[in-house]
Chains A and B, each alone.
Chain A
């Protein structure tokens, strides 16, 4: 049986919940455990109620648990909202003089968070560091584990801040130890994980883009995509990358297309509403056959929706969006590790097929942290497709950017001094790239462009499946719901209900054959999606002719938990 411990830290925005939550996750990762963490926050800078969850285990984790072992409450709302999630043998850490538990059954350990912070550092705001010290003590770990991470995380703020935080955390740690509380645990045994890294989905995408040779990102800030550009911008100077924050999303995609036309790998990142502004450029990339990678970080819509929450509402938008018809690829990473490799693939497909490629992620994947195998940079292969080499380019007398070919792919020349001229147009054009009105050329050019889908279809990997040969039920999901669905499948199995799982991460061109073969094996096919209309379900019907038997849809802005899926599956098959 796997051993695990679940923490939650709750407080107002501005109380440092996110900072200490991450430090706790990092410390537990360093302790040699698998970690999964995420934050739930409101679209505000101060006040409100935010919480950060950290789950650590000696076996692999893909999702969060709804049951808490340790609840750290910095404000009263944390107790009011989450006391019910604390397990019978769990404990809540808070200051008994400040917060009340009136009428609630809750084991607790009182730590005077603010008083200790004030006494040790003369700064009440350090209460969060006191809390984290206490949390590490309750987990049964040595203070040294925390000490090192605190020093690293606050190093950029100078020695005074580092020392104060370490002192505050030590005070919390000592106070918890001295309490001799019955809730202090034995630590989960380290499993000596080598080559593991702790990061979130956006960091994985940013690293994937950089490894894939992306030299240019233009992006307008919008949750949950902003941190992709922020991470790349931070490293841009060191690695010769240009990161531009332009005036709007329209400029962002047109800049990425301009850079792509000029011959470098370029991307943009936004949310669904930002992508709404980009659809014109999406079509331009299709028409001019210019490679571009677009990350859509989904959040609940329509319009501004819930900016800091999660949803999977833009699948149909990515697959069908844009004026007219043009080939595109839509990829939706199923995990943080997958996000890195899918991003590399996106850049390769964009150049191989000279098309726009969408990476469909969401707030949940973007901002969750997970320990994953260190990315293998040796495995990253940059395939620039049919790019005309320098030598050949020099001798070329007349170049046709949109030359008719069997594959539909026209060899690509980078516009440079001394070379043949490269001409392309958003108007319909002939092989040389000049605008035309001729019906015959128009038809041939459309056929040429659409022909690229045939090759592209073969690049799409089959969905990840978790097969149980005798199972009568298949659960189907896409993208970031993988963790919750796979854990739900294991829980159902424990309850003697065997299910298959089919998780799609490369959605367009749609892997119709693989999906058909998986779905015809089971009697009950339930599609699980974070949206209101069942967009994957509709796509399955359109592309395979199979009507899934059921749906589990959730569109409250919160990610699926495994137990929610278990409950719903049991209800539907009862």
Chain B
């Protein structure tokens, strides 16, 4: 059985001291250990941005992709070898901006993988520009008069009938660990947005700002009620809910594939001569 030390950083961590990503790292490490997953059972696929560096700070198979593109590669890798637990990582810029089209399609395709979007409402790696989720009026170098209306990604996900939609807070590690575990265990595409303060470039949405607003969804909340979930997904401002917002069992893409019914594609033998009957069709 793997312990948390098996998931120690594979290289020196480059995040700023106090970065919200540290909490996510701790929660992820705990979730993997508690689920009994060995590093070699896990493939992490990430984009570019501070969240893109995340897989290097654990131990697993890693494909650090282009900006905005982890999701297409993660889906294909899962289809190629569904014995791997696939987890993908983006930031708000990577996942909701550059990769927006992939995000929507991944929701509808519903490949069984977990997608963590580290949302700090600002671009960190490129040093402080507005992101798709920056609050209205948020002043940055690229939005000197303030950012325009933000995207509500979780509402978009519920609208697209995403099979698992959750939100966590990087400073609430215990809660986040449980959410990550639920997401990995869920059969289908699991979106987990993690609110994660950027201590260097976002002085508006700080740890305190989030703490004042965040509340955990209670036991009486029913994540199967889509209309209610849509309302919860839109809730932002005075109060911000965290927890599993929406969950629905939907057909999983690769479960419908005849090609991988018996064994993963990657383990199948290749035989050129099996195509002789196809040539007959051209005679």
B63 at the interface (CB under 8 A from A): yes
Bound: A252/B66 CA distance, A: 14
Bound: A16/B66 CA distance, A: 45
CB distance from A259 to the nearest CB of B (A): 4
Contact of A197 among B11, B40, B61, B283 (CB under 8 A): B283
B56 at the interface (CB under 8 A from A): yes
CB closest residue in chain B, given A432: B10
Say whether A421 contacts B59, CB under 8 Å.
Answer: yes
CB distance from A508 to the nearest CB of B (A): 23
Say whether A262 contacts B77, CB under 8 Å.
Answer: yes
Given A211-B272, A240-B258, A242-B259: A259 touches B77 (CB 8 Å cut-off): yes
Say whether A423 contacts B275, CB under 8 Å.
Answer: no
Bound: A380/B270 CA distance, A: 11
Contact of A417 among B40, B77, B274 (CB under 8 A): B40
B101 at the interface (CB under 8 A from A): yes
Bound: A377/B259 CA distance, A: 22
B41 at the interface (CB under 8 A from A): yes
B128 at the interface (CB under 8 A from A): no
> Which of A237, A239, A258, A419 has the most C-beta atoms of chain B within 10 angstroms of its own C-beta?
A258
Q: Mark B268-283, 1 if CB is under 8 A from A, else 0.
A: 1010111110110011
Say whether B84 contacts A240, CB under 8 Å.
Answer: no
Number of interface residues of B (CB under 8 A): 52
Using Cβ atoms and an 8 Å threshold, which residues of chain B touch A425?
Answer: 56, 62, 64
Contact of A415 among B38, B43, B265 (CB under 8 A): B43
- Among B65-80, those with CB < 8 Å from A are 65-66, 69, 72-77, 79-80
Contact of A256 among B76, B105, B260 (CB under 8 A): B76
Say whether A254 contacts B72, CB under 8 Å.
Answer: yes
B160 at the interface (CB under 8 A from A): no
Using Cβ atoms and an 8 Å threshold, which residues of chain A touch B259?
Answer: 215, 236-237, 240-242
CB closest residue in chain A, given B73: A258
Q: Mark B64-105, 1 if CB is under 8 A from A, else 0.
A: 111001001111110111011000000000000000011011
B224 at the interface (CB under 8 A from A): no
Given A207-B279, A237-B258, A377-B273: A258 touches B77 (CB 8 Å cut-off): yes
Using Cβ atoms and an 8 Å threshold, which residues of chain B touch A216?
Answer: 76, 79-80, 265
Say whether A421 contacts B265, CB under 8 Å.
Answer: no
Say whether B76 contacts A266, CB under 8 Å.
Answer: yes
- Among A460-491, those with CB < 8 Å from B are none
Say whether A421 contacts B63, CB under 8 Å.
Answer: no
A264 at the interface (CB under 8 A from B): yes
> Which of A235, A264, A281 has the most C-beta atoms of chain B within 10 angstroms of its own C-beta?
A264
A247 at the interface (CB under 8 A from B): yes
Bound: A367/B66 CA distance, A: 34
The SS class assigned to the A binding surface is: mixed
Using Cβ atoms and an 8 Å threshold, which residues of chain B touch A380?
Answer: 272
Bound: A422/B81 CA distance, A: 14
> Which of B61, B64, B104, B260 has the most C-beta atoms of chain A within 10 angstroms of its own C-beta?
B61
Q: Mark B48-66, 1 if CB is under 8 A from A, else 0.
A: 1000010010011111111
> Which of A216, A255, A418, A427 has the most C-beta atoms of chain B within 10 angstroms of its own C-beta?
A255
Using Cβ atoms and an 8 Å threshold, which residues of chain B touch A154?
Answer: none
Contact of B270 among A207, A242, A382 (CB under 8 A): A382
Given A241-B259, A242-B265, A263-B266: A247 touches B101 (CB 8 Å cut-off): yes
Bound: A215/B81 CA distance, A: 12
Say whether A259 contacts B80, CB under 8 Å.
Answer: yes
Using Cβ atoms and an 8 Å threshold, which residues of chain A touch B1?
Answer: none
A126 at the interface (CB under 8 A from B): no
B157 at the interface (CB under 8 A from A): no
Say whether B72 contacts A250, CB under 8 Å.
Answer: yes
Bound: A427/B50 CA distance, A: 13
- Among A212-228, those with CB < 8 Å from B are 212-213, 215-216, 218
Bound: A417/B48 CA distance, A: 26
A378 at the interface (CB under 8 A from B): yes
Using Cβ atoms and an 8 Å threshold, which residues of chain B touch A248?
Answer: 101
Given A207-B275, A264-B265: A422 touches B76 (CB 8 Å cut-off): no
Q: Mark A411-431, 1 if CB is under 8 A from B, else 0.
A: 000111111111111110000
Using Cβ atoms and an 8 Å threshold, which residues of chain A touch B258?
Answer: 237, 240
CB closest residue in chain B, given A218: B76
CB distance from A376 to the nearest CB of B (A): 10
Using Cβ atoms and an 8 Å threshold, which residues of chain A touch B146?
Answer: none
CB distance from A381 to the nearest CB of B (A): 8
Bound: A324/B109 CA distance, A: 33
Say whether A416 contacts B83, CB under 8 Å.
Answer: yes
Using Cβ atoms and an 8 Å threshold, which residues of chain B touch A256?
Answer: 76
Bound: A257/B98 CA distance, A: 18
CB distance from A237 to the nearest CB of B (A): 5
Say whether A418 contacts B40, CB under 8 Å.
Answer: yes
A40 at the interface (CB under 8 A from B): no
> Which of B53, B56, B66, B76 has the most C-beta atoms of chain A within 10 angstroms of its own C-beta?
B76
Using Cβ atoms and an 8 Å threshold, which residues of chain A touch B105?
Answer: 246-247, 251
Using Cβ atoms and an 8 Å threshold, which residues of chain B touch A423?
Answer: 10, 56, 61-62
Contact of A242 among B79, B279, B283 (CB under 8 A): B79
Bound: A425/B175 CA distance, A: 31
Say whether B282 contacts A288, CB under 8 Å.
Answer: no
CB distance from A194 to the nearest CB of B (A): 10
Bound: A196/B40 CA distance, A: 49
Say whether B268 contacts A240, CB under 8 Å.
Answer: yes
Bound: A525/B268 CA distance, A: 50
Contact of B282 among A197, A255, A417 (CB under 8 A): A197
Given A254-B72, A258-B73, A421-B40: A264 touches B279 (CB 8 Å cut-off): no
Having A216-B80, A288-B63, one finds 15 other A-B pairs with CB under 8 Å, namely: A198-B282, A210-B275, A216-B79, A239-B274, A242-B257, A250-B69, A254-B76, A255-B76, A280-B69, A377-B279, A415-B61, A416-B84, A417-B38, A417-B84, A426-B48
Q: Supply 25 A–B pairs (Cβ within 8 Å), ascending by A.
A: A198-B282, A215-B265, A218-B76, A237-B259, A239-B275, A242-B260, A244-B76, A250-B69, A257-B73, A258-B80, A259-B80, A262-B81, A375-B279, A377-B272, A414-B266, A417-B83, A417-B84, A418-B40, A421-B61, A422-B61, A422-B62, A423-B10, A424-B62, A434-B10, A435-B53
Residues of A within 8 A of B (CB): 196-199, 203, 207, 210-213, 215-216, 218, 235-237, 239-242, 244, 246-248, 250-252, 254-259, 261-266, 280-281, 284, 288, 374-375, 377-378, 380, 382, 414-427, 432-435
Closest 9 CB pairs of A and B: A258-B73, A213-B270, A258-B76, A262-B80, A197-B282, A415-B61, A254-B72, A380-B272, A255-B76
